[in-house]
Amino acid sequence: MPIQIIAPAPFVTADDEEEDEGGVRLDLDNDGDIAMEGDMPSHRRTGREAGGIVTPGEIVTQDPQWMRGHGTYLSQPSFLTGGHQSIVSSLAGTISKTNKLLSIRALKFRYVPEIGDLVVGRILEVQTKRWRVDIAAPHSATLLLSSINLPGGILRKRTSTDELQIRTFFSEGDLLVAEVQTLSNDGQASLHTRSLKYGKLRNGVFMTIDAGMVRRMKSHVLTMNTSNGGGEVDIYLGVNGYIYIAKHTTPLTESGGPEGKSVSITRLEEEASEAIYSNVNEEISPETRAEIARIACVIGALAKNGVKVDEEMVHLGYEAALEEFLQGMEWGGDGEAGKRVVEAALAKRREG
């Protein structure tokens, strides 16, 4: 059958009586006594253990011994709560407690930029001296004309000519990899691409996963050796959940090699900057394209199955996918394929 139709997962009612391992009931007071049975409707119970899920507006606890943390607020005392001040959740997420501090960790959240993050973004708008970039954050980021590599010298001042030619560097829809340089008071990020590591992205595919699914690592640019004649593939794991997978290209600064020594430093920079804003892909072999698609599927499957994406998991997942592929797996139409690959990868990690 060309289509796979899955029945929705049955609705699971939370079991009130079951104590999770490690779950701490907030109803317990200091002596370990269980709070009175009647003081809260029983359906409220389920969420109020550490690790349980609460929704916005749900009372987490009325016990004054707890301090409110992120994702909560104090409600005004009212007759409903019996004149007590209560801690109310402002997010949909899980309760976590650190000593006496209660906070809610959201189930799904937008990326909050931090200085130094490597992000992949897409140009939304071209303005006079800057670009607006979508980085999946609450505010779109800005990229100033002065914080990119301008052609003809890596660190020259921008001129009015550059302003007029702003679209030759980046125009709407272009993908780029950049670093968060500064943050404004309201959390809006300002990016920079003043390194040959950063800049326009080509030769590959773009995909998105949840921002929280990318583990922060030392380096977010991975280079992987692929099988089946795919050659080397670069993976830009943006901290914001935007991912770009492309054919490996040697950074232009290294391309010289022994015979390239004759090129002067300034000449090299000029060449680099001209090529950096090109919109033309290199020649990419079908083998590389197949492996890029496979890596994209692995990353998508990892994120979908709740496994954080990092270098190790991408490698293990890719290996697992290759093994499955040799056994004749049809990834595309098999809804369970991703899950099997992720399970195989996790098993590999446990084995070490």
Partner 1 sequence: MPPPTPLSPPELSYLYASLSLSPPIRLDLRTPTQFRPIVAECSFLPHCNGSARVCMSEAGECIVGIKAEVEKDATTKYVTVIEREKWIEVSVEVAGGGASGAGSGVGIGGISGAGGATGRDEGDGGAAVWLKEGLLAGGAGGWSILDRLVISSGWHWKLYIDVLLLTPTSHPSPLLLSTAVNMALDSTYLPKLTSPHDVDDIPTFSDDWAISVPLYEPTTFPRPPMSLPVVAVGDNVFLDPSVAEVATAEAGLVVTLSLSDSEGSCDIVGVRSMEVGRGGGKEGDRKGINRKLLRQMVNACVKEAGGVIKGLGETTHKQMFRA
Between 60 and 120, CB nearer to partner 1? 120
Q: How far is the CB of 177 from partner 1 (least distance, A)?
A: 13
Separation of alpha carbons 203 and 276, rounded Å: 12
Closest distance of CB 352 from partner 1, Å:
29
Binding site for partner 1 (CB under 8 A): 1-8, 122-124, 134, 136, 172-175, 200-208, 279-281, 284, 286, 289-290, 293-294, 296-297, 300, 330-333, 335
CB atoms within 10 A of CB 229: 11
Q: How far is the CB of 25 from partner 1 (least distance, A)?
A: 35
Least distance from C-beta 202 to partner 1, angstroms? Answer: 3
Scan for tokens 């195989």, then name that residue. Answer: 344
Is 207 or 346 the residue whose CB approaches partner 1 more closely?
A: 207
Write down the least CB distance from residue 279 to partner 1, Å. Answer: 4
Q: How far is the CB of 20 from partner 1 (least distance, A)?
A: 28
| Cα 278 from Cα 170, distance rounded (Å) | 10
The owner of tokens 């004149």 is: 83
Coil, strand or helix at 125: strand
Closer Cβ to partner 1, 47 or 241, answer by number: 241
For residues 66 and 170, which CB has a smaller minimum distance to partner 1 in the complex? 170
Residue 266 is encoded by which pair of tokens? 């300034």
Q: Which is nearer to partner 1, 66 or 244 (CB)?
A: 244
SS (H, E, C) 150-184: CCCCCCCCCCHHHHHCHHHHCCCCCEEEEEEEEEC
* 50, containing H or E segment: none
Q: Which is nearer to partner 1, 71 or 338 (CB)?
A: 338
Residue 336 and residue 302 in contact, taking contact as beta carbons nearer than 8 Å = no
Nearest-angstrom CA–CA distance, 157 and 134:
26
Residue number, 286 or 352, with CB nearest to partner 1: 286
DSSP structure class, residue 344: H
* Minimal distance, residue 146 CB to partner 1, in Å: 23
- Detail the DSSP E strand segments found in 193-344: 199-200, 204-208, 221-226, 231-237, 242-247
